[in-house]
Structures are given as structure tokens and as C-alpha cells.
Structure 1
Amino acid sequence: MVLASYNIKGGVGKTSAAVNLAYLAARDGATTLLWDLDPQGASTYLLRVRPKVKGGGRRLVRGKTDATARIKGTDYEGLDLLPAD
């Protein structure tokens, strides 16, 4: 299943919804990957993950880098993150 949370207006709860849905899916046994495409990187911050490569998200979207190399584990079993830049 793929879920996307999108709205051009800020402050409407996109990040909160995405992080909580990802956590709940992982808690219930689903192997879950959250991809933080927000330039502010709030999901990355909330899950206490630091990206290793700045600009890596842009390269990933363009197909110029391998996604598996950028996936980071979180403090929650079954929940991994593709961090924001």
C-alpha cells in the first residue's frame, strides 16, 4: 500500500498524520518506509534521523542514486525512513 500526504498549505497536519500513520502501521506488523520529501524535514527531525548526504533526495527522485543506500532505521521496529535533505 502507498499513502501520500500532500497539501500546498502549511500547518494542516501532513507531517503529523504521515508520521503517526507510519508508526501505527509498523506497530501493527507492517514493514513500513516513510519518505520525507518535505524541504523542512520535519518527519526526519521527529524520528531523530540525520541524513548522511545533503542533496541526496533530489538525486534519488531523478534516479541517479540507489534508494536502499539512503534508508535509515528509526527507534521503532519495522519503521524505516528515507530522510529529507
Structure 2
Amino acid sequence: MAHHHVNGDIRCGHGPLWALKLVSDRATKATINSKTMSKVHHATYQAYVMIRISSDNGILSPPVGFSKANIAKILSVLEAGFSAI
């Protein structure tokens, strides 16, 4: 995840709450546009992973009782979503 060109920052909150700051330029941390953010949202939603969009952040809040297989699925779907742009 960290290597992807649109990932500006990964933030972990309390428990399984994660936020991904998506950028159009990693060097300047320029905000990604809403059309591109919508593409990521649509691609992940089609693969049954719900990501909540808040400005330039993608927020994930999976259930507390999730497994390593669930984590692998989420990461795989996010990679596919990022590759869609």
C-alpha cells in the first residue's frame, strides 16, 4: 500500500479504524480530485469493500473481529482500486 503513487499517508486510529490520504503528487502532497476519488470508491465498492470518502481521505472501519484473510482481501481490493486510476 505505501508504495502506491496515490497514497500520501496511512493513518491508524483506534482499533481497526484506518485512513488513507490520497494525493495526486506524493512530493507536494497535492490533494487528489473528487473525480479520481470517486473512481477509487467505485472500484472498491464493486469488489465488496466499503471505503468511506471524506475530502481526500479514504476511511476504512472493518469490524473488530476480522481475520488475516479479511485484511488480505481489503488490501488486495484497495490495490485494484488504486490501479484503476
Would you say same fold, with TM above 0.5?
A: no
The TM-score normalised by the length of structure 1 is 0.30
The TM-score normalised by the length of structure 2 is 0.30
Would you tell me which structure has more strand in proportion to its own residues? 2
The structure with higher relative contact order (CA 8 Å, sep 6+) is 1
